[in-house]
Structure 1
């Protein structure tokens, strides 16, 4: 007897309904994602101005866009972000570390590297810039709903560099500071750059086990 040709198993009605529902849900999620990303980079309009906080909360920092490819605006100042930590030893005493130049660590990782990491180039700087843009200088209080998000993000970026312990002692709080000096303009330019260095010292932030989660 010859072998019989196997017949394809027909899709059940329930399977087709489930497949259609899954496809519809994925399509809706994709459309919502594209809408939020579009609103984040679109010129100011009634819709993205009204829902700016919601759009920024979704897009930043994972899906941040930069559309300056054909009109770059190079940085005109030298930034340095540093941190120090407060630790607690086995005897219960607290110790404050020396300042750690985090920007210098990034620069050291970039120099001589033909394919430097985006993390070393931009993560710390963008975390600092986001915090500065969303917090008042005089009291470091947030300006809007994104304040807590950018504060937590900057803290986690710093803790990712320092770890949970420092010199064998548990880190219980961290303080971040920035130093900024304007770059001298070229000789042919008539611009007058400030020759002073600006500093910004942030308050101490308490560190918990939750802050180290997934770092």
Structure 2
């Protein structure tokens, strides 16, 4: 009986994997295919499945490298039992990614692109405003917030926080062969995002 139960469970698991794979392939195909009646009719379901984890684009064939350097910084706030609000110093999230990539022959996709793509997707859906005006904008705002909160939590020695704020400083890429010296390039944008409530982290 146990053998039959195990076999039945395995068959069910395999069937679920096959169905999930088929659904994934179909939805991704509808996402990347030219607009058609089917993709238009089920656009909300397709976008809900694809974004933000399975986003597809053609940059593999037509790369569009960043023309700016971005420092993505975060700070957190926590209200203690006496009602006092404690705010941390700024923590450079992008610097952590850069250190993981530098001198690494096989850097992870997470270190190279996760935070960067989360920010560019946020800008694409929000523009110059930090107000989410669509379901996708809300989803990408949550995605960026969660990435930042998890990154901070991994480097703050377990200190508790309930709110997080991001600051993004955009700097021009220096021309080849030039050095900043004592005059680093002036930021082209210094954007301060609002405080976001997060699930309590830390002790």
Distance 1:105 1:24, change over 3 A: closer
Unaligned runs of 5+ in 1: 1-11, 188-194
Q: Distance in 2 between matches of 1:30 and 1:54?
A: 16
Q: Residue 34 and residue 51 in structure 1: after superposition, are their counterparts in 2 closer, same or farther (change >3 A)? A: same
Whether the 8 Å contact between 1:175 and 1:204 is mirrored in structure 2 is: yes
Q: Conserved in 2, the CA contact under 8 Å of 1:110 and 1:120?
A: yes
Counterpart of 1:110?
101
Is 1:98 paired with 2:50?
no
Structure 2 residue 65 is the aligned partner of structure 1 residue 74: yes
CA RMSD of aligned residues (A): 3.3
Residue 56 of structure 1 is matched in structure 2 by: 47
1:165–1:171 Cα contact (<8 Å) kept: no
Match of 2:198 in 1: 207
Q: TM-score, normalised by structure 1?
A: 0.72
Aligned length: 188
Q: Which residue of 2 aligns with 1:88?
A: 79
Counterpart selection for 2:117 from 99, 104, 126: 126
- The answer for the alignment partner of 1:38 in structure 2 is 29
Larger Rg: 1 or 2? 1
Distance 1:41 1:128 in 2: 22
Distance of aligned partners of 1:179 and 1:158 in 2 relative to their CA distance in 1, 3 Å threshold? same
TM-score by length of 2: 0.76
Is 2:171 aligned against 1:181?
yes
